[in-house]
Structure 1
Amino acid sequence: HGIDVGDAQPIRQKPYPVSPKILTAIHQEVDRLLTEGIIVRSRSPWSSPTVMVKKPDGSLRFCIDFRKINAVTRKDAYPLPNMTSLLDGLQQAQFLSKVDLKEAYLQIPLDAGSREITAFSVPGKGHYHFLRMAFGLTNGPATFQRLMDTIIDPSMAPYCFAYLDDILIATPDFALHVHYLELVLTRLRQAGLKINEEKCEFGCRELRYLGFIVDKEGMRTDPEKTSCIREFPTPRTIRALRRFLGLCSWYRRFIPDLATLSEPLNSLLRKQRKWVWGDAQEKAFQSLKTKLTSAPLLSRPQFEYPFVLQTDASSTGLGAVLVQQIDQREHVIAYASRTLSSAERKYSVTERECLAVIWAVRKFRPYLEGYSFTIITDHSSLRWLQNLKNPTGRLARWALELQGWDFRLEYRPGAFHHVPDALSRLGEDDGDCPSDEGLGLQRVFEADNQAGEVAAVGTIRSEDADPWYQNKIQNAMNHPESHPDWQVEQGELYVHRFDPKLEGLDEPGGSWKLVVPKARRQEIISENHDRPECGHLGTNKTYNRIARSYFWPGMFRDVYRYVKRCRSCQCHKYEQQRPTGFMNPRRVVGPWEVVAADLLGPYPRSSLGHKYILVFQDQFTKWLELIPLRAATGKVIADQVRKLIYRWGVPNTLLSDRGTPFLNKVLTELAETYQFHCEYTPPYHPQANFVERANRTVKPMLTTFVGENQRDWDRYLPEFMFALNSIKQDSTGYSPAFLNFGRELPQPNTWRERISQNLPSKTETPLEWARRFDILLNVRTQAEENLAQASHRQASNYNRNRRKMAFKVGVFVLRRVYTLSSAAKHYSARLGPRYEGPFKVVKILSPTTYQLANLRGRNAGQWHVTKLKPYHAPTEPPTSGIHHPMAE
């Protein structure tokens, strides 16, 4: 097996932290692999982390996290067998045998050039790499299939098949079967491959292969693929019946007589209909289950079409359906469901959804392995599963198990995820059967409320009724024949309607909903948005929750406005739009007009007593100065600024952050004395200081040359300054030295000495110096144009993925929170608000910077527009706001 990573540089990852117990298990596994000759000690520059994950039986499995290696590996396009043709060839098979290989991948040797790429480190043990193909490498299936196609070659057809490590021998008579079985085992022995006797089956009349039952009649569907539908429990409540009808409705294109078949079931959902599950309902229920588990809905897999795996998890179970999109129709290949164990029911919602994905991928492995497929889930946060960092425990097991599969995750809202949702809830107990009493409108609403779907509202009083509401009540009471969809019960108005936005959530054909007057609408929205069980969800989800039981004109608009103005949502939720704030580059027309300053450190105290680096950079020439400091006080910084002035002259502006070393009385007095302006970047916006870009170059230079004891980091600062000031800058087109002196700095190397020895000495005349000065002026003019063009390009690229945001004086805004977690104060920043406020804009300092004040009129600082967002106030003006609990 070869691993082609192209020109990728070696990837070195630190080992994941593990407990002493797990580390001992890793050491034991490494010893075993060494003894068996699977790994050897290594000096490779590559390193991937190791993880010990639990198998389903509780034992530990040694794994390597190859995700970053796989990301840079060139994919092998070797084809897997066409399973459709393979399965079609299984006809008249009287005798069947299935051969399974033991640790199949570890039986494949790695080529010499690829071994070091598989290296891994074990704390306290050493550095190793594999000699054989490790599990988890992206091209493993292609390599294995290439080998199997060599062993089980076309001359053995149509009696022998190999799909990855699944080898099948199928013959019409026993003598021929023994011959080909012996031939397969002989070739496997010649190839040096070992079989797993416990998983092999020999001389069978029937066996499972690639998800199908194979026997003398050919191939037939495995009953397990549809058992969860055939065993779908008889609905005992309205809620359970709705789930089943929603499942049927999803595949209505394959059930042309769905409306007729489901009529006895739909009748139980109608107004004031008693719950009586009779022969008609049972017959309809069984008939619909038969439709769901037979053609044309249930199909044989066609492997030339991609597979789609739909999964879902409830509080009690998991559900999945494997489908293919053929001729713009969704054909079911198999259904699956299972209940959760008591331990699994304690998982978080996200963990249960992840478990559903892992379980379904294992369940349908014969169809998915070696193919690219899509996983559809109604839980958007599952995207982290493919990018999980430092995985541990069951998360490690799931992330590493998926690294060998070629799939993409796709989010589908729960409103359109009926089938796996219904399958995942087969184990739910929907409570006792309803009584035989009249099941009126009020009973339906009570059932929904008990299930926690919709927050209830108190009885609507007569004083709540507005003219529109009163008019509808009068029409429903006085002219029922012309308003059949409107009814009044116990003084409350109901309407029967179907909302297209609720397709799949509402009953087929619509349902009765309580009509709400204006005076009670805000209350209902609040009850269904603000409470913990409603979760402060977004507009669509809040609307779906309310619209299932209530109605009023313009409901979606009202919900949108309420959610948009919800203070808690504004302060705690993530932004769903592009980031705000355009770049506004500063135009500089001469050297040393604008100087930026910044501090790097603290670093370990050097042998000369230095702990900090003071960085100065001229915006025009890009000249950089690196000054080591023993202390970073305001007095020390002011003294260095004074020295800078005596070297280069007084600047117009000194730009820095708001750190104490720069924002102090000493530096302010120096600025007043020398008549220059101190300008400060907004808080938490370091990119406003152009010297930050130079810092990103200096820091790697330090780490490259620093010694092991890290006390000589200041040794090479003069060399770093020379290197950066003598090299041409992309933005200006010239080196900083040339823009300052009109000549390049002489290079201190032996080549220059050799060249200078062969050149005649020359003394420049005043005329030549004047000509050089003119050239320097022209160069600076050109550099100014180059700098302006570079700034324009940078701003254009930066602004491309951002949106413009501007605030007027007097408007209210929210600002980002940057308070750190504090164990002493029992505060976690992850659980705190993302924004706080509101604050009032009192002054526009620049197109992107604003002066804020709190609601008491006190100064709240200068803030960049990227750290602000509009505050959408409720109907009343804000008198108090949401502020960070650690700020007081």
Structure 2
Amino acid sequence: MVTFAAMNVPVSVGSDAEFVEVRLTGLRPLVGFLDSGCMGNFIHSEVVSHMESQKQKCDPLPVTAFDGTFLCTVNQFIDLEWPPHFKSLRFYITSLSNYQVVLGAKVCKRFWKLPEDVKILDEDLLNHLVSSTEPSDAELIFANTHVLVSSSQLREISSGDSATDTLSHVVKSSSSLVQPDIQDFISSLTEKFARYFHNDPITHRVHNQFEHPIELQAFTRYPSRPFYPMKKENEIELERQVQKFLDLGLIEESHSSFAAPCILVNKPDGSKRLCIDYRELNSITIIDKFPLPIIEDLLPTINDACFFSKLDLSSGYHQINVAKKDRHKTAFRTRSGLYQWNVMPFGLCNAPATFQRVMNSIFKPFLGKFVVVYLDDILVFSKTKEDHKNHLTRVFEVLAKYGFVAKKSKCEFFCTRIQYLGHIISHGRVRISPSKIDAVEGWQFPKSKREMRTVIGFASYCRKSIKNYASHVKPLTDWAIRNKRVKKSILIESFNKLKYLLTHSPTLVTPSPDAVYKITTDASDYCTGAVIEKLDPAGKSMGIVAYFSKVMNKHELNYPPREKEFLAIIRVLERHRHMLLGHKIILDTDHQSLSYILSHPKPLSPKMARWLDFLGEFDLEINYIRGKYNKADPLTRRWQDAIQFNAISFPLSNECLGRNFFKECRANYESSMKSRNVYQALTKKVTSSSDARAMKKYKLEDGLLYYMGYDREGLASPRLWVPTTELQLRVIHQHHDTASTLHPGLSPTYFDMQKYYYWPDMHESIRRYIKHCGICQAIKPRTQSGYGLLHPIKIPTKRWQSITMDFISGFKNTDGKDQVLIVVDRLTKRAHFIPCSKNITAQECSYLILNEVIKHHGVPEEIITDRDSLFTSNWWKDFFSSLQTKLKYSTPNHPQTDGQTERTNRTFIQLLRAFSNFKDTLWLDKLPLIEFAYNYHYHSSIKMSPFEADLCYQPNPPHLDSRLFEFPRYRDTPVNKVDLSTKAEYLDYLISYVKHSLEHAQDEQEKHFNKHHQQLLLQQGDKVLLHRDAKIFGHRFRFTKEDELYFGPFAVIKKYPDNDNAYELDLGPAYRDRMVNVKHMRPFQDSLFYDKTPPTTIPELIQAGRARTIRAIHGIDLLNQVMALTFTNCAPFHAALFRVSDVKQALHPAYFQELLDQYSSQIQGEQDEFNRVQDLAG
């Protein structure tokens, strides 16, 4: 790939020189443009047109601009002498450049200081060729003379949007640019016909005798589709455009039975364009067979011409009226109503034929004499300058007579060579545009047998048109298919010969007026391609008309596969529109969904709607073919090969692996056990035949060892062998830990590295590295099952033997009560809801338990609570110790330990909300009924209500009609007639039944819970990371999305023998409560790069403060007066915990205040917390 840095942006070399005189042997003195950003030297094809014997062929090289945009392909070079500076200087031959000679980086480097004999040229006296804005062979040359223009003017002209803009700028900026008589003529012509020669949109409706009819086939129903939904701003824009068309008279309100949906699509300038979906109307329209002209038949009439001008009509369709009887068929639907067109809209299948009929009619006296018309492209040609002036005037008079407007920005005048409908036209010469065959000429020599077989398969399709085809491809088939040895020189010669035969007559057939064309399209990740064939009346291929291939730009690379395949269709139809319009087209694609696109019932994206609007002009039939039968596939592969294997450009100067990385690789190949044998075999130190066969997949180049593998697309991909573990870790670190990679997972890292590197077990090395990456462990959530199996608490054997309790707050203060104490019996599930105050003390709470629970049910043997400060107070512990009641606490930040109380809390809140219909009742007055309702309801875990389980009967509810109990059936129930001994047996049975039901419920819960959890067994000394939900910094510590998910690591200091789900961790000196549930933990793998750990002692903290290596305060627990610090030379997630008082003593006051201010700036939104943190500074 040859890279142009900036064809029109000069780079100074040693001085302010941009242009120098170049004296090459055998040529007149030339103008050379110095461009240090250009990767090669270039010479214009016209300069060396007489030196055919010295030109040499080369493999086609794609030429790209500095931003990667593809420009053209070069396949010739010439070696010339520039005495005394260069004995041989290679120039690539191209017509792309605006200059005679472009001197690239090699010459610029040599001429860092210009030699005295190299003459610097005055920019204002230079003669340059000015090319048209399109990257083609056509050049805009006025009056058959070179244009005199300075380099500064040239750069301004070259940045214009069109050839006419260039002309306009030149005429205004330089009186010497064109011949005065031509300048005066163009000025007078544009002034005389200003109304019909401008760039403004059409602002009036043209009234002429031309009409567009719409004849329909026999059909059963009128096509009518609903309005496509769109954004509100698009609806407003649609109504604005509709109103504009109404004001211009282009459309009118309709009462038609036809209705087509419409959509707004984006134009390149950011504005919106109205597109109407006429697919259903086109499907029932009789196709107009009016013949469009064949360009090959038109061109012979203009071979003697010397001057050419090209006109492009603006919105020509809107300048033709729709027949009045058919206007209702063009109706389209918007949110505000139904409208129909008075003028011919875009998207109708017969619009091109009608337009061509009109053009032939108005230009009939001129056709074949000095005018050629193809739709809205008009070519005017003349033998002399005076004739050309007269012909242009007569053409503009016809346009003015019938109201047609020429678009000023797309017109070209007085050209001696011009591009028209895929041909390059000049005096006495008409040749096919290189784009027809460039898709094949740009092929690179395949680098693998698989690629060669693809080329042979493509070429075999044209074997009938190639004489002695088998003999030409025999060397290629021997090597790629039969695995025979063939010299590379013979392969290259055969391959180049095959390309020549594919791109020259009689392989390419000529289009004909009544031809049916078959187009096969394909798209790869980078490129689109197509093959156009002509079919005979029997449907058999008569040969290939043209090839097509074009690389995608940076925006198109992001298209989804369906749109890329659709883009291939649009591109080939746009490129060969002049040849395909008016003909039946059979289009084959290997993307099946596109075969239904013409009849798709749902609204499409704006982009595809715009494309469908373009497809409406063609008589098109889309068919699906399997990918292996797609002939266009090789045309979409060549660009990738060219980019990958033929790069002539400077590598990026980015030594991120270290300056001596490659030197270290070379030095370690023989010392590494895994690479030694391969390296010695390739350096001829081992010569056995078995080793030679095994070494085919390896290559030694410049002392570096490469593994010749393949990428995912089957293309050859040489990968550098990295020999030692230290170098391998360096490479993995660069592709995983840097700011541009940001710690991807295993697959992204591996697939990124496998393009460039290789070593045995590389996948395992990357997996092990990522497993031990400390930051990955800290920032990535676990995707596997959670830690910690369910271990249900033992079921009590007696009523009220084991109880749980918790507080629910958030109530309005009523009679001094604003909180509810929930007490639940773990066996019978019966609950008491006891109102109390938020400020209740441990002593007051113990009295509540005595009066509301113990008075009715006796002293419990155990109480389970959370770690509220009230339940952990000394008074609470002493009181129940005197009653011989055992106190049990749940694990911190793990409410699932006491799941029963949590479930009761939710049920209580639900019942309280159900009281919303009784708004006249205070919440405190609701509690008795809420408690009754809770205990009265059936509980699935015990298969009865708590009342039945505790009292052995169901109390009469207030909502039951008491008259039911007057009937004997209810009065004489067995339970009312049993004696005391029978009732005791019934109570025992009831307890057994409740226990059995609870055991069954626990078993089911344990089974379902453990399906999605796994056991985590740790030993003393193991390190773990803690999730932020563990709240190790207290409830007041805030997190943002940028903070790590895990912190630590922390060491295990105690294992509980009766509980596998809780461990005691070393959380720092200030924490008394260090028990943590395993669900918040993650086993820590020591990092391979962060080998340092934060300080753990006060002397180490003092040393870190003096070195100012504290990164930041990561969190402050104001309740326990604990501060979390991170350090610059340690992992960012590794936080060390210290008492606030110790930190204030260890650090200089100014440094402590600086860290505190930095932390305070993050929490200024919470004023109370901010003020409390600021108090620490005091």
TM-score bracket relative to the smaller structure:
0.5 to 0.7
Q: Select the residue among 993, 997, 1000 that pairs with 1:789.
A: 1000
- What residue in structure 1 maps to residue 559 of structure 2? 320
Kindly state the Cα deviation for residue 295 of structure 1 after the two structures are TM-superposed: 7.7
* TM-fit CA distance, 1:567: 0.9
1:415-471 CA-partner distances (Å, limit 9, x unpaired): xxxx9xx99xx9xxx99x9548xxxxxx8xx55x86999999463164794344445
Contact (CA 8 Å) 1:813, 1:840: kept in 2 or not? Answer: yes
Name the amino acid aligned to 1:684. Answer: N
Match of 2:988 in 1: 777
Inter-CA distance 96–630: structure 2 relative to 1 (3 Å threshold)? farther
TM-score (norm 2): 0.42
* 1:869 has 2:1076 as partner: no
Contact kept? 1:454, 1:545, Cα under 8 Å: no
C-alpha displacement at 1:791, in angstroms? 1.2
Structure of greater relative contact order (alpha carbons < 8 Å, 6+ residues apart): 1
1:346-385 pair list within 5 angstroms: 370=602
Q: Does 1:170 align with 2:285?
A: yes
Q: Is the 8 A contact 1:580 1:865 kept in 2?
A: yes
Separation in structure 2 between the aligned mates of residue 834 and residue 232 of structure 1, nearest angstrom: 58
Residue number in structure 2 paired with 1:41 = none
Asked whether the 8 Å contact 2:258–2:331 carries over to 1, the reply is no
Q: CA contact under 8 A between 1:607 and 1:711: conserved in structure 2?
A: no
Q: Does 1:854 align with 2:1066?
A: yes
Any conservation in 1 of the 2:277–2:347 contact (CA below 8 Å)?
A: no
Give the corresponding residue for 1:133: none
Q: Distance in 2 between matches of 1:323 and 1:280?
A: 36
- The answer to whether the 8 A contact 2:214-2:326 is kept is no
Residues 330 and 341 in structure 2, CA contact (< 8 A), matched pair in contact too: no
Aligned partner of 1:730: which letter? S
Amino acid aligned to 1:104: F
Instruction: Report deviation, 1:569.
Output: 0.4
Mapped partners of 2:953, 2:654: distance in 1 = 84
Contact 1:634 1:664 in 2 (8 A): no
Partner residue of 2:823 out of 594, 605, 616: 616
1:849–1:862 Cα contact (<8 Å) kept: no
The 8 Å contact of residues 707 and 713 in structure 1, kept in 2 or not, is answered as: no
Tell me how far 1:671 sits from its aligned partner.
2.8
Corresponding residue for 1:459? 663
Contact 1:515 1:552 in 2 (8 A): yes
1:830 matched to 2:1041: yes
Change (3 A) 1:826 1:623: closer
- CA contact under 8 A between 1:594 and 1:653: conserved in structure 2? yes
The answer to whether the Cα contact below 8 Å between 1:814 and 1:836 also exists between their aligned partners in 2 is yes
Residues 833 and 585 (structure 1), Cα distance of their counterparts in 2 relative to 1, 3 Å cut: same
Q: Which residue of 1 aligns with 2:377?
A: none
Asked if structure 2 preserves the Cα contact closer than 8 Å seen for 1:655 and 1:678, the reply is yes
Deviation at residue 106 of structure 1 after TM alignment: 9.1
Distance in 1 separating the partners of 2:1006 and 2:697: 59
- Quote the residue 1:545 is aligned against: 752
Give me the whole-angstrom Cα distance separating, in 2, the residues matched to 1:723 and 1:252.
Answer: 83
Q: Secondary structure at the match of 1:715?
A: helix
CA contact (8 A) 1:100 1:196 kept: no
> Judging changes above 3 Å, is the alpha-carbon distance between structure 1 residues 471 and 672 closer, same or farther for their aligned structure 2 residues?
same
Instruction: State the distance in 2 between where 1:544 and 1:472 align.
Output: 24
- Is 2:698–2:707's contact at 8 Å kept on the other side of the alignment? yes
RMSD: 6.2
CA-to-partner distance for each residue in 1:197-236, whole Å, 9 max, x for gaps? 699949945369xxxxxxxxxxxxxxxxxxxxx999999x
Matches of 1:720 and 1:783, distance apart in 2: 23
Question: What code does the residue aligned with 1:775 have?
Answer: Y
Native 8 Å contact 1:612 1:629 kept in 2:
yes
- 2:921 and 2:697 map into 1 onto residues whose CA distance is 84
Deviations 1:82-101 (A, max 9, x none): xxxxxxxxxxx974799998
Match of 1:510 in 2: 717
Q: Highest Rg: 1 or 2?
A: 2
In structure 1, what is the equivalent of residue 886 of structure 2?
677
What does 1:370-409 align with in structure 2 at a 5 Å threshold?
370=602
- The code of the aligned residue for 2:1012 comes to N
Check if 1:806 corresponds to 2:1045. no
Q: State the one-letter code of the partner of 2:664.
A: I
Q: Structure 1: give runs of 5+ residues left out of the alignment.
A: 1-92, 108-149, 153-161, 209-229, 265-270, 272-277, 298-312, 325-330, 339-360, 374-418, 437-442
* Structure 2 residue 764 is matched with structure 1 residue 592: no
Match runs of 1:510-589 below 5 Å: 510-588=717-795, 589=797
**Which residue does the alignment assign to 2:902?**
692
- Opposite residue 171 of structure 1, the aligned amino acid is I
Matches of 2:730 and 2:1064, distance apart in 1:
33
Question: Structure 1 residues 854, 480: CA separation in 2 closer, same or farther (over 3 Å shift)?
Answer: same
Distance 1:661 1:611 in 2: 17
How many angstroms apart in 1 are the aligned matches of 2:906 and 2:1008? Answer: 19
Which residue of the partner structure matches residue 300 of structure 1? none
SS at match of 2:787: coil
State the shift of 1:587 in Å.
3.0
SS of 2:856's equivalent? Answer: helix
Indicate the residue corresponding to 1:308 in structure 2: none
Question: 2:798 is aligned with what amino acid?
Answer: G
Quick one: which of 743, 747, 761 aligns to 2:957?
747
Rounded Cα–Cα distance in structure 1 between residues aligned with 2:878 and 2:886: 11
Cα distance, 1:257–1:684 mapped onto 2, change above 3 Å:
farther
Q: Distance in 2 between matches of 1:494 and 1:682?
A: 58
Tell me, in whole angstroms, the C-alpha distance in 1 between the residues paired with 2:719 and 2:332.
70
In structure 2, what is the equivalent of residue 132 of structure 1? none
The percent identity for this pair of structures is 16
Structure 1 distance, partners of 2:686, 2:724, is 20
Q: Select which of 638, 662, 679 maps to 1:473.
A: 679
Aligned partners of 2:1059, 2:784: CA distance in 1, in Å?
21
Question: Which residue identity does 2:752 align to in structure 1?
Answer: R
For residues 828 and 582 of structure 1, the distance between their equivalents in structure 2, rounded to whole angstroms, comes to 28
Within-5 A mapping of 1:150-299:
167-168=281-282, 169-171=284-286, 194-195=338-339, 201=345, 204-206=348-350, 292=523, 293-294=529-530
- The Cα shift of 1:548 comes to 2.0
Cα gap change, 1:163/1:792 in structure 2, threshold over 3 Å: closer, same or farther?
A: farther
| 1:321 Cα deviation after fit | 4.4
**2:959 matches 1:737:** no
SS of match in other structure, 2:338: coil
Aligned-partner Cα distance in 1 for 2:928–2:560: 66
Conserved in 1, the CA contact under 8 Å of 2:802 and 2:860?
yes
- Quick one: distance in 2 between partners of 1:839 and 1:885? 9
Q: 1:717 aligns with which of 895, 912, 927?
A: 927
Q: Is the 2:1062–2:1077 contact (alpha carbons within 8 Å) kept by the matching residues of 1?
A: yes
For residues 762 and 539 of structure 1, do their structure 2 counterparts lie closer, same or farther at Cα, with a shift above 3 Å needed? closer
Residue 850 of structure 1: CA displacement? 2.0
Instruction: Find the counterpart in structure 1 of residue 403 from structure 2.
Output: none
Offset, 1:843: 0.8
Shift of 1:663: 3.0
Matched, 1:495 2:694: no
TM normalised by structure 1 equals 0.54
Are 1:666 and 2:879 counterparts? no
Q: CA deviation at 1:185?
A: 8.9
* Partner amino acid, structure 2, of 1:698: F
Summarize the Cα distance change of 1:848–1:165 in structure 2 as closer, same or farther, 3 Å threshold.
farther
Distance (whole Å) between structure 2 residues aligned to residue 231 and residue 685 of structure 1 = 73
The answer to whether the 8 A contact 1:454-1:528 is kept is no
